[in-house]
Amino acid sequence: MHKNIFIITGFNGWGMTHSMVAATIVTDAVLGRRNDWSELYNPFRFKPSSAYTFFEQNFQVAKTFVKDRITSKPERLEKSRIALGQGGIFAVDHDKVGVSRDRDGNIHAVSPICTHLGCVVSWNNAEQSWDCPCHGSRFDADGQVIHSPAKIDLEKKSLKGILPEED
């Protein structure tokens, strides 16, 4: 570690707030002044007691990742099972597909595998979105990223020839 090199990073969605705090902390450090916030933002503040929470949360992610692949048995896709504003994971040609029906009756189909770390997303009826239980990524009905950490959209799937056309 070098005494006169300061790196400010990791703002995520709080850039405007945390960048101002970080700038104040660095300014005080350069001028040799004490800053009440510096310890809270110290990247070396890790305490061994916090390891339990870290491992517990990551164990839950791993457990969800495995459980979704072993225990989930998606139903065979039938258009009549998808009400307006509803969605779910269905079996389509030996594959799992996330299928939703918007409030206008349009069907949307995506891969249900989150592009962040590969957990299986689930349909959120209230928000009309695909939500990842592992790290909170959210995608719209067409699979476009609404909320990170995922940066890549869900793969769109075709249901052509699988669902009968409406009369």
- The pTM (predicted TM-score) of the whole model is 0.62
The pLDDT tens digits of the residues spanning 44-100 come to: 777 777 777 777 777 777 777 777 777 667 676 666 678 899 999 988 888 899 999
- Look at 115 and 18; give whichever has higher pLDDT: 115
The pLDDT, as a whole number, for residue 1 is 55
The pLDDT, as a whole number, for residue 149 is 93
Residue 154 lies in a domain: no
Closest by Cα among 19, 38, 18, 20 to 28: 38
Residue 155 lies in a domain: no
Range of the domain at 132: 75-147
Is residue 105 pLDDT above 70, yes or no? yes
CB atoms within 10 A of CB 14: 10
Using alpha carbons only, how large is the chain's radius of gyration in Å? 22
8 A C-beta contact, residue 83 and residue 67: no
In the chain, the largest separation of any two C-alpha atoms, in whole Å, equals 76
Looking at the structure, do residues 85 and 143 belong to the same domain, yes or no? yes
Query: What's 119's DSSP letter?
Result: P
CATH of the domain at 110: 2.102.10.10
Closest by Cα among 157, 134, 132, 159 to 145: 132
Q: Could you say which of 34, 51, 70 is where a domain stops?
A: 70
pLDDT (mean) for 138-165: 90
Closest by Cα among 144, 145, 118, 146 to 133: 118
The enclosing H or E element of 66 equals: helix 51-70
Q: Which residue shows structure tokens 């699988």?
A: 162
Query: What's 113's DSSP letter?
Result: B
Looking at the structure, do residues 52 and 85 belong to the same domain, yes or no? no
